[in-house]
Chain A
Amino acid sequence: MGALKTVMGGDAGFATTKLDALLNWARKYSLFQYPFATACCGMEFFAVAGPRYDVARFGAEAPRFSPRQSDVLWVVGTISQRQAPALKRIYEQMSDPKWVVAFGTCASCGGFYDNYTTIPGADKVIPVDIYIPGCPPRPEAVLDGLMLLMEKIEKGGNREAMTVPPRELPRLAQLRTRADTTIVSDHIGKMKEDK
Chain B
Amino acid sequence: MSVAVLARLQAEFGAKILETSSFRGDDEAIVAPSDWAAVAAFLRADSELVMDHFIDITAIDYPERTPQLPRFDVVLLVRSMSKNHRVRLKTRVQDGEELDTLVPVWRGANWTEREVFDMFGIRFRGHPDMRRILLYEEFVGYPLRKDYPIDKTQPLIEYRKEDNLEKLPPFGPTEGQPWNRIDWQARLEGRDMQVSPAIAVQQGQKHALSESSARAEGKPLPDEIPGKN
Contact = CB atoms under 8 A, between A and B. Distances in A.
A187 interface: no
A116 B170 contact: no
A82 B160 contact: no
A111 B143 contact: no
A116 B169 contact: no
A85 B156 contact: yes
Interface in B141-195: 143, 148-157, 159-160, 162, 164-165, 167, 169-172
A114 B155 contact: no
B148 A82 contact: no
A112 B162 CA distance: 23
A95 interface: no
B159 A124 contact: yes
B157 A117 contact: no
Nearest to B152: A116
B154 A116 contact: yes
Given A109-B167, A117-B143, A123 B160 contact: yes
A139 interface: no
A119 B170 contact: no
Most buried by B among A81, A88, A116: A116
Contacts of A114: 151, 169-172
Contacts of B160: 123-127
A177 interface: no
A84 interface: yes
B118 to A, nearest CB: 11
B156 A81 contact: yes
B135 interface: yes
Interface residues of B, number: 23
B157 A116 contact: no
Main secondary structure of the interface of A (DSSP, over half): loop
A82 B136 contact: yes
B135 A110 contact: no
A116 B150 CA distance: 6
A120 interface: yes
B153 A84 contact: no
Given A82-B135, A109-B170, A125-B160, A117 B155 contact: no
A127 B162 CA distance: 9
Interface in A29-46: none
A115 interface: yes
Contacts of A119: 153, 155, 159
Given A110-B170, A117-B135, A124 B165 contact: yes
B153 A81 contact: yes
Contacts of A110: 169-170
A121 interface: yes
A120 B143 contact: no
A121 B167 contact: yes
Contacts of A82: 135-136, 156
Interface string A172-186: 000000000000000
Contact of A81 (B150, B155, B165, B171): B155
Interface in A76-130: 81-82, 84-85, 88, 109-112, 114-117, 119-121, 123-127
B148 to A, nearest CB: 7
11 contacts: A81-B136, A81-B154, A81-B155, A81-B156, A84-B155, A109-B170, A114-B171, A115-B151, A117-B143, A119-B159, A161-B164
The 4 A-B residue pairs with the shortest CB-CB distance, nearest first, are A124-B159, A82-B136, A114-B169, A115-B150
